[in-house]
């Protein structure tokens, strides 16, 4: 499990492209036959990917956690962005098609991931935060995630938002998780941008067509930076940073947060004319 430490606003403003990418961009998250994990010291979030092939993959604990099993003091959100698969939670099976989500609560000792077909494997995106209470495992399909379409083709940001783990949906300790898909011809996400200093956020981009890229915007509103992102790459977004992007084609992204509260609407808007 790779460990990433915090970077202050001041040092981030002076980073070159290579330094920005090494601190905030997570590449090679989806590796065939492997569970890959990155531990961030921003709200102690763990970002992961699991791509099972012929054999199931187990979610093991790691020495950095100082725990007997991975979810001893944590909760977990899972969203499948690949072929059909199954997640076993202490022996109970949950089938996940593409865009289906699953919450797994604190205290679960055994989590394994399997693909229905190794030639078209599931790609399980994982997000885990510390938890202080127990909530039951719960599956949510994309249709059950209360999809809402927002934006306008005229401003290239017509998109559908799916909320899985949030205050009015699947219950959790502090994890908030969902995804957004942009319509064909729309490329902007989270614009105008916002901040929420009470929560960090992670973006995971998926369904980015071959050869296309997303230009992800980060940094303070008056000190913006950008990172060029490919398919199945993730971005750590500090609480002081905007998180927005523009693609060379339409795409999807999973958003996940942890921190002070689970209020999806708790954002501080940043007017476009103030960006620099």
Task: Tell me the binding residues.
Answer: 194, 196, 201, 243
Buried b (16+ CB within 10 A) or exposed e, 8-25: eeeebeebeeeebbebbb
- Using omega within 30 degrees of 0 as the cis cutoff, is the peptide bond preceding 133 cis? no
The answer, yes or no, to whether the previous bond of 224 is cis (omega within 30 of 0) is no
Cα–Cα dist 50/59, whole Å: 9
Answer yes or no: are the C-beta atoms of 31 and 37 closer than 8 Å: no
- E strand or H helix that includes residue 10: helix 9-13
Mark the binding-site residues for Zn(2+), compressed into ranges.
194, 196, 201, 243
Contacts of 222 (CB under 8 A, 6+ apart): 274, 275, 276
Cα–Cα dist 84/94, whole Å: 11
Angle at 43 between CA 9 and CA 236, to 5 degrees: 55
């Amino acid at each position: 499990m790779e460990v990433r430490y915090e970077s202050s606003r001041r040092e981030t403003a002076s980073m070159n492209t290579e330094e920005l990418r090494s601190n905030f961009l997570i590449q090679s998250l989806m590796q065939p036959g492997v569970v890959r994990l990155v531990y961030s010291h921003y709200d102690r979030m763990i970002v992961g990917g699991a791509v099972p092939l012929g054999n199931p993959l187990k979610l093991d604990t790691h020495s950095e956690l100082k725990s007997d099993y991975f979810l001893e003091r944590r909760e977990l959100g899972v969203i499948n962005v690949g072929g059909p698969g199954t997640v076993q939670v202490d022996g109970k099976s949950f089938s996940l098609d593409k865009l289906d989500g699953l919450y797994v609560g604190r205290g679960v000792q055994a989590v394994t991931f399997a693909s229905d077909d190794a030639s078209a494997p599931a790609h399980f995106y994982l997000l885990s935060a510390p938890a202080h209470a127990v909530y039951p495992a719960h599956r949510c399909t994309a249709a059950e995630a209360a999809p809402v379409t927002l934006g306008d083709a005229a401003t290239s940001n017509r998109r559908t938002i799916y909320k899985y783990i949030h205050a009015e949906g699947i219950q959790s300790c502090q994890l908030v998780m969902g995804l957004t898909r942009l319509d064909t011809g729309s490329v902007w996400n989270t614009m105008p941008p916002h901040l929420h200093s009470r929560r960090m956020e992670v973006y995971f981009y998926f369904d980015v067509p071959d050869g296309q890229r997303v230009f992800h915007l980060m940094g303070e509103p008056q000190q913006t930076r950008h990172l060029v992102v490919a398919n199945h790459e993730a971005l750590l977004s500090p609480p002081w940073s905007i998180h927005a992007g523009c693609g060379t084609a339409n795409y999807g992204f999973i958003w996940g947060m942890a921190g002070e509260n689970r209020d999806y609407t708790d954002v501080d808007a940043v007017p476009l004319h103030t960006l620099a």
